[in-house]
Structure 1
Amino acid sequence: MSVVADHLSWGVKRKAIVKDVSLRVTDGETLGLIGPNGSGKSSLLRLLAGLKRPDQGRVTIHGKDIAAIQRRALAQSVAFVQQNAATETSVSVRDVVRLGRTPHRSALSGWRAADQAAVDGALARVGMTHLQDQSWLTLSGGERQRVHIARALAQSPTVLFLDEPTNHLDIHHQIEILQTVRQLNVTSIVALHDLNLAAMFCDRIVVLKDGALVASGTPETVLTEDLIANVFRVAAAVSPSPHHGRPQIHFHTGV
């Protein structure tokens, strides 16, 4: 198992945000976290990545309790892509991606061939090599997300966490980003709000409601009409897509 969470709970003051969540993620798997706004997706993702400490429970990555791992050592194997990451600094695409090598370098170490190879490889994997000299400020939203994924890949992680990486992107860029993630040779845990995208690109799906895990399994077993009605409070018809065979969700608008 790449990532194992046992009975995670976390909250702010007296409000419980994540409630007794346990899950398992296998090597190379893409796991989707879905749920209504306020269901605890982002908080759970940060607990799994070690960016928050649980009030109860623990997380292990590759069999090691992340609470006992130094942050720099954890960052050498775990990368996090936040929602709508942005900067107003006029730096090049290459310089943004170079930041991913920080956990692997000491304050006195020079730029090594291994660092350059990691950056070049990351840019190539997200199809951004041809734009490496371009200013960050000139990029489209989809291109910026690909650069942030490249920066995460430059860390040489074995586990990649992504918090709604397609938020506020048009559908073309949403599909492009998730296709990129799907093709990476890493374990990926991604929080998503679009159920059809989760069905298309995730091997398994975890559903959260009010901070608790209410369903876990393949898209075919999890994304049912009853679950969508109970968790998301909307009527929908679910049928296999004629294009990819996975569940396709048609929402009833009542119009």
Structure 2
Amino acid sequence: MTIVAGNLVWGVGRKTIVRDVSLSVRRGETLGLIGPNGSGKSSLLRLLAGLKRPRSGRVEINGRDIAGVSRRTMARQVAFVQQNAATDTNVSVRDVVRLGRTPHRSALGGWSTADEAAVSAALSRVDMHQRRAQAWQTLSGGERQRVHIARALAQAPTVMFLDEPTNHLDIHHQIEILRMVRDLDLTSIVALHDLNLAAMFCDRIVVMQEGALVECGAPADVLSQALLKNVFRIEAEVELAGSGRPHIRFCSD
């Protein structure tokens, strides 16, 4: 499913946070959003997912303006995984994932075989099926994030948006989660802080600065020494790994 955004503008009060952003995402592509803190990544992600309405501009998913699509219909096509999602409720892993089926169920409809199959498939896909009866509170941070991705998958979406899904996770879980997202048969847009992880797992990268899109392209084309200095204010060397993807070496002085 393709995503096209045209001239998106959004802000709070007199402050403009997203400034005239246009981009397109191809079917099956993993697009990374990077930029300094406050650059507008999370706000842009929510605009693209239909969770915020722009002041001006439009977003189309598969050629259809999402402004005219109901939230229920959107929830059947689009899943959103937020950073550090948490709950204080004592529920099981399976109960958390079951919430992903809500958009597909009627108010009076019971739990169906199709619902159960979707939940089981989602848990298996993130390698958490054996822990389906385990209490949510007993999971590690990486395991909880996998469960939230399973809940998103249970929606049976064609597009997944992820807002810094690796935040506060150890490097093993960061790599594990991003590899899993990349390998899903979905169109994915993910906001990331770690530039090397974005280079490793994203097909293309969008660079945000002060609410505007300043670069968009393949990691090897976008992640240059000049960009890192101008946008992120860091001195670094960029090397091409054997895979052809860039690797950033940060300078200590």
Scaled to the shorter chain, the TM-score interval is over 0.9
2:241 is equivalent to residue 250 of structure 1: no
Match of 1:53 in 2: 53
Residues in 2 aligned to 1:11 and 1:78: alpha-carbon distance in whole angstroms: 23
**Structure 1 spans left out of the alignment, 5+ residues:** none
Give the aligned partner of residue 241 of structure 1: 241
**What are the equivalent positions in structure 2 for 1:132-211 lying under 5 Å apart?**
132-211=132-211
Contact kept, 8 Å, 2:179 with 2:201, in 1: the verdict is yes
Q: TM-score, normalised by structure 1?
A: 0.98
Q: Secondary structure at the match of 2:33?
A: strand
- C-alpha distance in 1 between matches for 2:203 and 2:127: 23
Q: CA deviation at 1:240?
A: 1.1
Q: CA RMSD of the aligned region, Å?
A: 0.7
Q: Which residue of 1 aligns with 2:102?
A: 102
Q: Distance in 2 between matches of 1:99 and 1:8?
A: 31
Runs of 4+ in 1 over 3 A off after TM superposition: none
Secondary structure of 1:76's counterpart equals helix
Partner of 1:80: 80
Per-residue CA deviations over 1:167-195 (Å, capped at 9, x if unaligned) read 00010010011011011100000000000
What do residues 200-255 of structure 1 show as CA deviations (whole Å, max 9, x unaligned)?
0000000000000000000000001100100000000000124x33100011111x
CA distance in 1 between partners of 2:120 and 2:188 (Å): 21
SS at match of 2:118: helix
- For the 8 Å contact 2:32–2:190, the answer to whether it is kept is yes
CA contact (8 A) 2:220 2:244 kept: no
